[in-house]
Each structure stands twice: as structure tokens, then as C-alpha cells.
Amino acid sequence: MTEIHTPEEYHSFLDQNPLCGVYFYTTTCAICDVLKPKVNEVFQDHDLSVARINLMHLPGLAGPLLIMGVPTLIVMLEGKEMERLGAYMQMPDLNDKLGKLHKHLA
């Protein structure tokens, strides 16, 4: 999981990864810590990249992306939001959604 520190890194990550995920978290969020390795594993299973962004360090991204709480995972396809999942995300559902998007991209 790639850590993003600047808006430029965020845009570069999206440009380099047509199908990817962006995981928004804060260091004070316990569920974020629990879900982070699970999300990473699902993306690795599909050979896809996922980045993480600490909103305590980049709060300016929350507004434009309408991030209302953490954790939030946004699955992006060619820079456009395809799926948005929150704290109650289920890994089997994420796995299915990534599989369908990955097939569509191929």
C-alpha cells in the first residue's frame, strides 16, 4: 500500500494506475487500522495498486472528494470513482467488485 503525502502524489498515482483504490484514514481511527491490511490483501489478490491517505496530513482532499468519515475506500477507474465503501465494507463484496471491474478493463 503506497502512502500518499501530497496532492501531486495523489494525481500521479491515479495517472499511473488505471484501476486502483484510495484508502482514506486517520491515525486516531482504530477500525482504519483493522481494515487497512485486509483492503491491501484484496487489492494484492487482484494485482492492483491501492494508496492510503492520512486525512490528518492532507485534509484538503476530503472536501473535493466528499469524504465525510474514515475509513473510506474509493475504487477508481481511469480517474473516476466507481465504488465507495465505508467502515462496514465487507471484503468478499470488495473482492467481487474488483473482479468485475478488472474483467471490464481487460
CATH number at residue 9: 3.40.30.10
- Chain centre distance of CA 66: 14
User: Is there a domain that residue 99 lies in?
Assistant: no
Q: Given CA atoms 80, 64, 24, 91 in this order, what sign does their dihedral have?
A: negative
Residue 104 forms part of a structural domain: no
User: Is residue 20 within 8 Å of residue 76, measured between CB atoms?
Assistant: yes
Domain span at 51: 2-92
Cα-flanking dihedrals φ and ψ of residue 89, to 5°?
Answer: -65, 140
- Please report, to the nearest 10 degrees, the dihedral formed by the alpha carbons of residues 8, 11, 36, 64 taken in order: 90
Beta-bridge mates of residue 75: 21, 83
Residue 106 has pLDDT above 70, yes or no: no
CB 43 within 8 A of CB 49: yes
Residue 23 scores a pLDDT above 90 = yes
Query: pLDDT tens across 53-86, in order?
Result: 999 999 999 999 999 999 999 999 999 999 999 9
Residue 16's pLDDT is 97
